[in-house]
Amino acid sequence: GAGVSQSPSNKVTEKGKDVELRCDPISGHTALYWYRQRLGQGLEFLIYFQGNSAPDKSGLPSDRFSAERTGESVSTLTIQRTQQEDSAVYLCASSYVGTGEETQYFGPGTRLLVL
């Protein structure tokens, strides 16, 4: 079946502009995660959605970052007033929580460059 998809694959923006990144999880997956990978760094957790529970936003670096998810489908990550330090690859992952599988499947990422 189809994997996790993300769009756009690349985004170049000017400092101060808002950007919106999209993630389509694997159909049926109840959990969705956003991570950020800055150059030379490991992945940093940003936010986690699980079903109808309140999202875990503990990884969002500032109030310029927000994310939404509609039911168990698409999610969007919005970065307002982008800064150069926001340049990174933003990765989305999904999983089916509850089976004991505990495996997150990652999308190809959106490479964001803030000029």
Residues lying near another protein in the complex (CB under 8 A) are found at 31, 33, 35, 40-45, 48, 50, 56, 59, 91, 93, 95, 97, 100, 102-109
Q: Which helix (H) or strand (E) holds 90?
A: strand 88-95
Shortest approach of another protein to residue 83 CB, angstroms? 22
What is the CB neighbour count within 10 angstroms for residue 55? 16
Greatest Cα-to-Cα distance within the chain, rounded to the nearest angstrom: 43
Distance between CA atoms of 102 and 97, rounded to whole angstroms? Answer: 7
Shortest approach of another protein to residue 28 CB, angstroms? 16
Between 82 and 90, name the residue whose CB sits nearer to another protein: 90
- Which residues have C-beta within 8 Å of that of residue 14, sequence separation ≥ 6? 82, 114, 115
Shortest approach of another protein to residue 5 CB, angstroms? 10
Shortest approach of another protein to residue 105 CB, angstroms? 8
Between 31 and 82, name the residue whose CB sits nearer to another protein: 31
Distance between CA atoms of 87 and 11, rounded to whole angstroms? Answer: 10
Between 34 and 82, name the residue whose CB sits nearer to another protein: 34
Contact in structure between 110 and 21 (CB atoms under 8 Å): yes
Between 22 and 105, name the residue whose CB sits nearer to another protein: 105
